[in-house]
């Protein structure tokens, strides 16, 4: 339909000619109430934003010389954040001469990643940033946790299928 005809028709019906598909060939236009259409578009955008899951980044700090009980307490906090669906930035703070031994911090971060491997994946590997070493953990969705776990168990225990070697002295 010609643009002029569409505009005349819109005027007769007391509606607006709205271009809804400008990139289509030919462009798509509809006769409708523009105010109502815009309101519906805004409501749809608002609903989409509401449904979109915003992931918050939580942070927890460790020291190089952390005691076992303190480690377990902080690990519990990290676990709680991950189970709530948040990403977690784990930071090892170095002070003074501790800077000469970054491998100690890396060992702690590797231990955290290993202890939480059933509920989280390492999104950012441990990196030094000034006097801190950082690592980011992202939660594994609950529906994927159960599926990933048996694969690890099978890979970790291949001894089930191994038969003991026959003793040649008994034959």
pLDDT tier at 169, thresholds 50, 70, 90: low
Whole-number pLDDT of residue 89: 94
Q: Hey, what domains does the chain have and what are their CATH numbers?
A: 3-43 (3.10.20.80), 57-146 (3.30.110.10)
- Per-residue pLDDT of 33-60, as tens digits, reads 888 888 999 999 988 888 777 777 899 9
* E runs forming strands in 3-153: 16-21, 28-32, 57-63, 87-93, 120-129, 132-139
The mean pLDDT value of the chain amounts to: 82
Residue 163 has pLDDT above 60, yes or no: no
- Per-residue pLDDT of 78-120, as tens digits, reads 999 988 888 999 999 999 898 898 999 999 999 999 998 888 8
Whole-number pLDDT of residue 170: 55
Which residue do the tokens 């008994």 mark? 170
Three-state DSSP state, 2: coil
Whole-number pLDDT of residue 133: 93
Whole-number pLDDT of residue 57: 87
122: Cβ contacts below 8 Å, ≥ 6 apart: 113, 135, 136, 137
> pTM for the full model?
0.55
């Amino acid at each position: 339909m010609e643009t002029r005809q569409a505009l005349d028709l819109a005027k007769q019906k007391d509606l607006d000619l709205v271009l809804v598909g400008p990139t289509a060939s030919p462009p798509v236009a509809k006769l409708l109430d523009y105010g109502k259409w815009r309101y519906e578009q805004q409501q749809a955008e608002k609903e989409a934003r509401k449904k979109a899951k915003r992931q918050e980044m939580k942070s927890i700090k460790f020291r190089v010389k952390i005691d076992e009980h303190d480690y377990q307490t902080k690990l519990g906090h990290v676990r709680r954040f991950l189970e709530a669906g948040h990403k977690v930035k784990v930071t090892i703070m170095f002070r003074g001469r501790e800077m000469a031994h970054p491998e100690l911090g890396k060992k702690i971060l590797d231990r955290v990643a290993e202890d939480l491997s059933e509920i989280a994946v390492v999104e950012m590997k441990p990196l030094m940033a000034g006097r801190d070493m950082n690592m980011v953990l992202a939660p594994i969705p609950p529906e994927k946790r159960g599926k990933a776990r048996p694969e690890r168990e099978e890979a970790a225990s291949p001894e089930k299928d191994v038969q003991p070697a026959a003793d040649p002295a008994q034959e």
